[in-house]
Structure 1
Amino acid sequence: MPWRTEFPSSLCTAVAMSSTCPGLYCGKTLINGSFDGECGVCPRGERTSMQKICEKCTESPELYDWLYLGFMAMLPLVLHWFFIEWYSGKKSSSALFQHITALFECSAAAVLTLLVNDPVGLLSIRSCRVQMLSDWYTMLYNPSPDYVTTLHCTQEAVFPLYTMVLIYYAFCLVFMMLLRPLLVKKIACGLGKSDRFKSIYAALYFFPILTVLQAVGGGLLYYAFPYIILVLSLVTLAVYMSASEIQSFKNLIAKKKRLVVLFSHWLLHAYGIISISRLDKLEQDLPLLALVPGPALFYLLTARFTEPSRILSEGGNGH
């Protein structure tokens, strides 16, 4: 009797499907209860499995995914606040109302973005888990089985992290165009006509830039945003304290605005640390949050030793 080995039918099916669907993201869609169709792109909201079958995304985003979405949502808000402060000059009351309006615009856009994403009408989303960097750039992995014909399987494998950010930016732009011009025209009477709408003009520039940044570098930002937050928050805090000539604790508490800026940067530091830790290491890395005030304290303690006038005077006395 010859030796005979039998394989499970499911394994044979998986092997057969794997051999018929090339590439990383090509799969077969269920049609009339069978997978007899041709290999191709999976519908939106689905991604191919290890067996090359298009399966619906039913998972909830991880903490890191939410932190990434929060980072992308903060970018336009921070830029709004920066340009409002830059162009408002000494009109602090005008700047305050514009800051509040920008916060309302971005908050409303974020809520509306959650509501229009699947499941529609709920403040929650279903998603596919990000497995590797190539999931963000499926268009670069369209296979050519015969080296002549390309099988196009471009899809949103990271559903909905890619398009969700673009939808949010669109809503932000719409809300800004509906609300901000009327507000600025009403409360910014002390500013010149050419300066009233400069913060809005700036947004018309940075929104296309943010859109291109997400479209091209979304995957890179997904993995790098915690480090970007930490580096930028440290640099901007140092620049602000230097430009404001803050060299002691007395200078720091002299104005409420300076304390607001300081606490805002501390929140960004904490956000970056939590993002780097992720959920699996969050508990053991929580003590690192005690280091959040460290850079500001170091700056205040050492600023007096780097004062240019003092260095020049000591250099002159040395000669």
Structure 2
Amino acid sequence: MSVKKLCPGLYCGRPRLNLTVFGECGVCPRGERTDGDKICRMCVESPELYDWLYLGFMALLPLVLHWFFIEWYSGKKGSYLYNFDCSFSVSSALFQHITALFECSAAAIVTLLVNDPVGMLSIRSCKVQMLSDWYTMLYNPSPDYVTTLHCTQEAVYPLYTIVFIYYAFCLVFMMMLRPLLVKKIACGLGKSDRFKSIYAALYFFPILTVLQAVGGGLLYYAFPYIILVLSLVTLAVYMSASEIQSVRNLVAKKKRLVVLFSHWLLHAYGIISISRLDKLEQDLPLLALVPTPALFYLLTAKFTEPNRILSEGGNGH
């Protein structure tokens, strides 16, 4: 049939059957969304910088959680040296960090390759126009107030489903690689200690999946601010827990410098994400503020040292 009137609702459209003939109003095929004339059009745009930054944020979440739980369950044991059949030594925690990085990197590459266009490290997408694009299931119209016209679709193709695909590949690669490698390398650990970081992943991957399913749209708009707040809080907590009160304390261990530079990269990532592409050039000078939180902490830490406050309070009495 040819187009006679616009379809109801925000996301109902007529699929194109050929150049001049269109189908009934309904859900658009995957990889398409409605245009202003309520015709289903194929998503042929390339993701914007902000879209890539969002996907990068969602890709970093499992990697950061992997690293956190590896450190958490390694504890003091992470400083011991384990080996392959005692032939040469290697740090168990460090090796697991590298393995987690490899798993997530491989999952990201494979996810891009299996998405349209297949076999290329690029994707085609539909532009995100508003928050409701992420929650089309809430906007199914009822033209006669009796029958609901179901037009639930991925209007933000593929930003919604590609994250689930990535998490699935992360889980597959982890289950294929990590148990065998950890069993081989962690000769000095008990069986329960070896796999605790893997057990943790079996919990946080379902949580991340539900988070994306329910709050994907909210995360899309809020992730730059989440990065900035969390990176500032975790940096302050880490420096406080490590009793870093001066530059000398900071450079005493290489691990502390690695943590510091990692947080600086997150600060820069958040600033660039907030700026977006249209304001990136004019906001680049803000990157000079990246070291400010750490410098502020080092300059003020000596004034907030608990023992000093208690001693001065006692002298006052």
TM-score class normalised by the smaller sequence: over 0.9
1:266 aligns with 2:264: yes
Superposition deviation, residue 194 in structure 1: 1.5
1:136 aligns with 2:124: no
Residue 8 of structure 1 aligns with which residue?
Answer: none
Q: Which whole-Å deviations, capped at 9, do the CAs of 1:135-185 have from their partners, x for residues lacking one?
A: 000000000000010000000000000000000000000000000001111
Q: Structure 1 stretch 101-110 or stretch 85-94: which is displaced more?
A: 85-94
Superposition deviation, residue 188 in structure 1: 1.2
1:198-217 to 2 correspondence within 5 Å? Answer: 198-217=196-215
User: Could you state the TM-score of these two structures normalised by the residue count of structure 1?
Assistant: 0.94
Amino acid at match of 2:304: T
Alignment partners' CA distance in 2, 1:178 and 1:52: 45
Residue 170 of structure 2 aligns with which residue?
Answer: 172
Superposition deviation, residue 33 in structure 1: 3.2
Gaps of 5+ in 1: 1-12
Alignment partners' CA distance in 1, 2:195 and 2:152: 40
SS of match in other structure, 2:41: strand
Residue 247 of structure 1 aligns with which residue?
Answer: 245
Q: Which whole-Å deviations, capped at 9, do the CAs of 1:3-35 have from their partners, x for residues lacking one?
A: xxxxxxxxxx98x432xx100000001114334
Residue 119 of structure 1 aligns with which residue?
Answer: 117
Alignment partners' CA distance in 1, 2:290 and 2:218: 25
Alignment partners' CA distance in 2, 1:35 and 1:45: 20
Seq. identity, %: 88
Alignment partners' CA distance in 1, 2:151 and 2:123: 24
User: Could you state the TM-score of these two structures normalised by the residue count of structure 2?
Assistant: 0.94
Q: 1:146 aligns with which of 144, 153, 160?
A: 144
1:17 aligns with 2:15: no
Q: 1:51 aligns with which of 37, 47, 60?
A: 37
How many residue pairs end up in the alignment?
304
Superposition deviation, residue 191 in structure 1: 1.9
1:158-169 to 2 correspondence within 5 Å? Answer: 158-169=156-167
SS of match in other structure, 2:33: strand
Q: Indicate the RMSD between aligned Cα atoms, in angstroms.
A: 1.0
Which structure's CA Rg is the greater one? 1
Q: Which whole-Å deviations, capped at 9, do the CAs of 1:63-102 have from their partners, x for residues lacking one?
A: 0000000000000000000000011122231000000000
Alignment partners' CA distance in 2, 1:85 and 1:208: 21
1:88/1:191 contact within 8 Å kept: no
Residue 63 of structure 1 aligns with which residue?
Answer: 49
Alignment partners' CA distance in 1, 2:194 and 2:105: 23
Q: Which whole-Å deviations, capped at 9, do the CAs of 1:273-315 have from their partners, x for residues lacking one?
A: 0000000000000000000000000000000000000000000
SS of match in other structure, 2:15: coil
Q: 2:25 aligns with which of 39, 59, 62?
A: 39
